[in-house]
């Protein structure tokens, strides 16, 4: 079993839709949870991170963590074509920044 499992998609949604991206993890010791966005032929960029159960909002993006279920989600409201990218969940498993990534979900938002 992989430490982090991510719904592989791909997802294709119309502009304005609400998008839900999900990951599960196996190690209850994980403390920090991140979402990265990666455009084609670019490096991943950090979108959001959280370290507690509950929701964290940043504009159109909401990160949700449920530690009891070991489940993390990213919601994108009012999705835009510019949101089309690969989204990667990542979990910090050590004190020194070693990230364990899900396999990524390719999202396409069409006008």
Partner 1 sequence: GAGVSQSPSNKVTEKGKDVELRCDPISGHTALYWYRQSLGQGLEFLIYFQGNSAPDKSGLPSDRFSAERTGGSVSTLTIQRTQQEDSAVYLCASSSGAGASGNTIYFGEGSWLTVV
Answer for the pair 70, 28: CB distance below 8 angstroms, yes or no.
yes
Per-residue interface string for the shown chain with partner 1, residues 60-89, x marking contact by CB under 8 A = ----------------------------x-
Q: Interface with partner 1 includes 52 (CB under 8 A)?
A: no
Least gap, CB of 88 to partner 1 (angstroms): 6
Q: What is the C-alpha separation between 62 and 48, in angstroms, rounded?
A: 8
Count of residues near partner 1 by CB under 8 A? 25
Q: Which of 41, 68, 82, 111 lies at the binding interface for partner 1 (CB under 8 A)?
A: 41
Q: Which of 11, 44, 65, 91 lies at the binding interface for partner 1 (CB under 8 A)?
A: 44
Query: What b/e sequence results for 5-39 when a residue is b if at least 16 CB atoms lie within 10 Å of its CB, and e otherwise?
Result: bbbeeebebeeebebebbbbbeeeebeebbbbbee
């Amino acid at each position: 079993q992989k430490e982090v499992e991510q719904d592989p998609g791909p997802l294709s949604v119309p502009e304005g839709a609400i998008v839900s991206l999900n990951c599960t993890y196996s190690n209850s010791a994980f403390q920090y949870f991140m979402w990265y966005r990666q455009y084609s032929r670019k490096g991943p960029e950090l979108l959001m991170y959280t370290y507690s159960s509950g929701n964290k909002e940043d504009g159109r993006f909401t990160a949700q963590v449920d530690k009891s279920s070991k489940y993390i989600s990213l919601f994108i409201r009012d999705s835009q074509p510019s949101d089309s990218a690969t989204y990667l969940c990542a979990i910090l498993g050590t004190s020194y920044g070693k990230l364990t990534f899900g396999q990524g979900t390719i999202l396409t938002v069409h006008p």
